[in-house]
Amino acid sequence: MNYKITPVEKGKKVEFKNPIKDFYDAVGGDEGMQKLMYSFYDKVYDSDIAHFFPQDEDEFEQVKIKNTKFFIEICGGPKVYNEDTKGMELNEFMVRLHDDFSIYEKSRVEWLGTMAEALKELENIDEVLIKDFWDYLENFSKLTVNTYPDGSVYYANL
């Protein structure tokens, strides 16, 4: 499968849709999503974007647990995220969580590349389902980029 990454265009509206539930079901529900996301976060811990995450192993484990719940819910699984979303829709809440960090396109590309590595480990999953999940990640991740090479800052709105 081609894990294509398209560039962010500051100020351009980003269109995305949540992954179809068939992906969640195909990977094996909660257990399969946990396996996928833990593989991803273990790779992140050794990546160029590790500094965005706690370096304490126990704290990092809590991030893995929390973010796995986000992906379970966003992929159509049970509502398990249980964070105080301050009245925001789950995707919007996740975008706003990134506002506290300077996220460059380079960081987004590293994040996506690491996710592509984890997705390549999936076995016996229809490529159409993986592509649908990838399309969500590739587009949604554009909303987290908030710092640009010219030094400007722009916070995307959903």
For the segment 41-90, what is each residue's pLDDT rounded down to a tens digit?
999 999 999 999 999 999 999 999 999 999 999 999 999 987 777 778 88
> Which residue, 80, 48, 85, 49, is CA-closest to 67?
80
Q: Do the domain assignments include residue 6? A: no
Q: What is the pLDDT of residue 88?
A: 83
Residue type present at position 142: K
pLDDT given for residue 29 in this prediction: 98
User: Residue 131 has what pLDDT?
Assistant: 98
| 151 found inside a domain | no
pLDDT at 158 over 90: no
Q: For residue 82, what pLDDT is reported?
A: 76
Residue pointed to by tokens 């893995």: 64
In a domain, 13, yes or no: no
Residue 86's pLDDT is 75
**97 pLDDT higher than 90:** no
Which band of pLDDT confidence, cut at 50, 70 and 90, is reported for residue 3? very high
Would 4 be classed as within a structural domain?
Answer: no
Residue 12 within any structural domain of the chain: no
134 DSSP assignment: H
Asked, for residue 8, whether it belongs to a domain, the answer is: no
- 8 Å CB contact between 146 and 153: yes
Q: What is the pTM of this model?
A: 0.93
- Confidence at residue 39, expressed as pLDDT on a 0 to 100 scale: 97
CATH number at residue 81: 1.10.490.10
**pLDDT over 90 (residue 140):** yes
The number of domains in the chain is 1
Q: Residue 106 pLDDT more than 90?
A: yes
User: What's residue 81's pLDDT?
Assistant: 86
Return the pLDDT at 84. Answer: 72
In whole angstroms, give the CA distance from residue 19 to residue 56. Answer: 31
Other Cβ atoms within 10 Å of 34 Cβ, number = 18
Identify whether 113 is part of a domain: yes
